Structure 1
Amino acid sequence: MSRSALILGAAVALIATPVLAGEAACWFENGVVVVGAEVMGVSGDYILDTATPHTVLADSQAQTAGFAETALVGEVRLAGVALKDRRVAVEGVDLRTGALPTPIAGIIGADVLRGFVLDVDFKPCRVRLSRRASSRFAATTSLPMAWVAGRPVVRAAVADGAHAFAGAFTPGVGADTAVRISDALARAPGAPKPKEVYPYGVTFPRLRALSFAGGLTENLPAGLIEAEDPALAGQLGAPLLSHWRLRFDFPGRRLYLAPRLAKAPKGHVHGV
Structure 2
Amino acid sequence: MRRVVPLLILSLLATRGGPAMAEERGAGQTACWFENGAVVAPAAIGGIAGDYVIDLSAPHTLLHVDVAQGAGFTDTALTLPVRVAGRKVDAAPIAVQNLDYRAVGFSTPIMGVIGADILGRYGLALDFSPCRLRLERPGRVRGGWKGGLPVTIVGGVPTVLAAASNGLHGISGPFALDTASAGGVRARGAADGPRQKPVGTLSGLSLNGALRQDLPAVVAGDLPAGVVGAIGVRVLAGYRLRLDPTALRLWLTPIPAGR
Counterpart in the other structure of 1:158: 164
Counterpart in the other structure of 1:179: 185
Is 1:121 equivalent to 2:122 in the alignment? no
Q: Note the aligned Cα RMSD (angstroms).
A: 2.6
Larger radius of gyration: 1
Cα offset for 1:85? Answer: 1.0
- What do the CA deviations read for 1:191-240 (whole angstroms, capped 9, x no partner)? xxxx7x95447452111111111101101101334675552111111121
Distance 1:164 1:138, change over 3 A: farther
Give the AA of the match of 2:123: V
Q: Quick check: 2:197–2:218 contact (8 Å CA) kept in 1?
A: no
Q: How many residues align?
A: 238
1:249 to 236, 244, 249: 244
Give the AA of the match of 2:243: F
| Alpha-carbon separation, structure 2, partners of 1:200 and 1:119 | 23
Distance 1:178 1:141, change over 3 A: farther
Cα offset for 1:136? Answer: 5.7
Say which is worse superposed, 36-45 or 160-169, in terms of deviation: 160-169
1:253-272 to 2 correspondences below 5 Å: 253-262=248-257
Give the AA of the match of 1:25: A
Distance 1:203 1:230, change over 3 A: same
Which structure shows the higher helix fraction? 1
Counterpart in the other structure of 1:69: 75
Counterpart in the other structure of 1:219: 214
Unaligned runs of 5+ residues in structure 1 are 1-15, 184-194, 266-272
Q: Quick check: 1:178–1:238 contact (8 Å CA) kept in 2?
A: yes
Cα offset for 1:105? Answer: 0.6
Q: Quick check: 1:179–1:234 contact (8 Å CA) kept in 2?
A: yes
Distance 1:230 1:76, change over 3 A: closer
Secondary structure (helix, strand or coil) at the match of 2:88 reads strand
Counterpart in the other structure of 1:12: none
Secondary structure (helix, strand or coil) at the match of 1:232 reads coil
Give the alignment's TM-score, normalised by structure 1: 0.79
Counterpart in the other structure of 1:268: none
Counterpart in the other structure of 1:101: 107
Unaligned runs of 5+ residues in structure 2 are 1-21
Q: Quick check: 2:182–2:197 contact (8 Å CA) kept in 1?
A: no
Consecutive aligned runs of 4 or more in structure 1 exceeding 4 Å deviation: 135-141, 225-230
Give the AA of the match of 2:41: V
| Alpha-carbon separation, structure 2, partners of 1:81 and 1:49 | 16
Cα offset for 1:139? Answer: 6.7
Cα offset for 1:126? Answer: 0.4
Q: Percent identity?
A: 39
